[in-house]
């Protein structure tokens, strides 16, 4: 699904025009981006949480030459999936399916 398809779906389900839905989506994404830029986390209960973490400096390898290179530390955005989203993605929930849904806690017989 791309942005325009998402806007269309939001407009339809919320009873908004596509222009209103696009404006709302843009506002939500901007708010998330601003919070992350300030090193704040954003939690949408049931959906997931966005946070900023620092990836440590490390030594890598240039794939063309094979030479070692130093890769500097940098900040990256991390997303942790929420319980409800995890369960809705599980296509065939069954005991111990491994997807992290509530049935994972059940023992297989």
- 49-71 pLDDT, tens digit per residue, is 999 999 999 999 999 999 999 99
Task: Give the residue numbers spanning the domain of 14.
Answer: 1-40
For helices 18-37 and 3-14, give the axis angle rounded to 10 degrees.
120
Query: How many structural domains does the chain have?
Result: 1
Report if residue 55 sits inside a domain. no
pLDDT at 108 over 60: no
Output the pLDDT for position 104.
60
- Distance of alpha carbon 102 from alpha carbon 85, whole angstroms: 11
Report if residue 2 sits inside a domain. yes
Report if residue 7 sits inside a domain. yes
Q: Which alpha helices (DSSP H) does the chain contain, by range? A: 3-14, 18-37, 83-89
Task: Please give the model's pTM, rounded to 2 decimal places.
Answer: 0.73
97 pLDDT tier (thresholds 50, 70, 90): low
Report if residue 47 sits inside a domain. no
Report if residue 17 sits inside a domain. yes
pLDDT tens digits for range 2-48: 999 999 999 999 999 999 999 999 999 999 999 999 999 999 999 99
Report if residue 88 sits inside a domain. no
- Distance of alpha carbon 25 from alpha carbon 35, whole angstroms: 16
Report if residue 87 sits inside a domain. no
């Amino acid at each position: 699904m791309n942005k325009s398809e998402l806007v269309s779906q939001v407009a339809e389900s919320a009873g908004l025009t596509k222009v209103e839905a696009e404006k709302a989506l843009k506002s939500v994404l901007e708010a998330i981006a601003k919070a992350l830029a300030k090193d704040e986390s954003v939690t949408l209960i049931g959906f997931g949480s966005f946070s900023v973490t620092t990836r440590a400096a490390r030594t890598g390898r240039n794939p063309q030459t094979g030479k070692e290179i130093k890769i500097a530390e940098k900040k990256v955005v991390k997303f942790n999936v929420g319980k409800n989203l995890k369960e809705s993605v599980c296509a065939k929930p069954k005991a111990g399916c491994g997807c992290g849904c509530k049935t994972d806690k059940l023992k297989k017989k």
